[in-house]
Amino acid sequence: MKPVNGLAQVLERADAVARRGSVAVAERAAVVTSLLDRQVSAGRKAGLFELSPCDWEEGPRLWTGEPIRTKLAAEHVFSQEAGRLLHRLAGADPTVRQSVSRTAARLAGTCYAVQHCTIGECATSFIGYVRFLTSVCGDEARGDVAWRLQTLLQHRSPNGRWKHFPFYYTVLVLSELPPPAGEGELAHASEACARALRRPSIGEPYATRRTRLLRHVLKEATPEPS
């Protein structure tokens, strides 16, 4: 039987459970099962996670609210998030480890994983892949993350943003990197973050998420007064 709820809904629930930390075992297990049920097991999309029709009806969005406009980007970013959250929620479980390994193997062959591809919404998948690598591979991903940050640097805009990259989601990914990895790009974005904080222009829950993110980043990226 096909899942009724959209993958985006399941990811939202999984993210909430992961952020709460201490939750009932049954609730955590239910979320993990809901994600595992959506992983494609065979064919050219094996290892990715399947979106439902309602995901397209509502319009897929990143956690920070930017719309995802192509099917390819939605499939890949949502799959990155599913693998990341499975690892975070139950990374020691053998079934989950196998699932995340299948996702990692599938993502590793993409253009944005093996090249500096940021064409169209590959830029979104590119920065989302940094989040996936950091979460799932830890210190082993340091080298892969480093050259991707160099690619991001090459796409800097004078206004403190990056060409092609979703601004808030990119700031989120950078803010989660272990220091000092993302500090240079966060410093580049600090004035743009300050401007964005003064102009909230999106509905909930994204307005609150962006506000909290920007306040967190400005505290870390802005030099302390001497």
Write down the H helix ranges in the chain. Answer: 7-20, 25-36, 53-58, 71-90, 94-108, 111-114, 122-137, 142-154, 167-176, 183-197, 206-221
In a domain, 141, yes or no: no
Backbone angles phi, psi at 173, to 5 degrees: -60, -45
Per-residue confidence at 226, pLDDT binned at 50, 70, 90? very low
In a domain, 140, yes or no: no
Q: Whole-angstrom Cα distance, residue 21 to residue 13?
A: 13
Per-residue confidence at 101, pLDDT binned at 50, 70, 90? very high
What pLDDT, on the 0 to 100 scale, is given for residue 48? 98
Task: Share the mean pLDDT of the chain.
Answer: 92
In a domain, 47, yes or no: yes
Residue range 52-94, pLDDT digits in tens: 999 998 899 999 999 999 999 999 999 999 999 999 999 999 9
Q: Is the pLDDT of residue 1 over 50?
A: no
Q: How many domains does the chain have?
A: 1
Per-residue confidence at 23, pLDDT binned at 50, 70, 90? confident
Residue range(s) defining the domain that contains residue 66: 1-108
In a domain, 149, yes or no: no
Average pLDDT, stretch 110-139? 94
What pLDDT, on the 0 to 100 scale, is given for residue 83? 98
In a domain, 28, yes or no: yes
What pLDDT, on the 0 to 100 scale, is given for residue 223? 53
Per-residue confidence at 140, pLDDT binned at 50, 70, 90? confident
In a domain, 188, yes or no: no
Asked whether the whole model's pTM tops 0.85, one would answer yes
Share of the chain above pLDDT 70, in %: 95
| C-beta separation of 96 from 87 below 8 A | yes
In a domain, 143, yes or no: no
What pLDDT, on the 0 to 100 scale, is given for residue 4? 53
Q: Whole-angstrom Cα distance, residue 101 to residue 136?
A: 9
In a domain, 61, yes or no: yes
CA pseudo-torsion sign 161, 172, 182, 184: positive
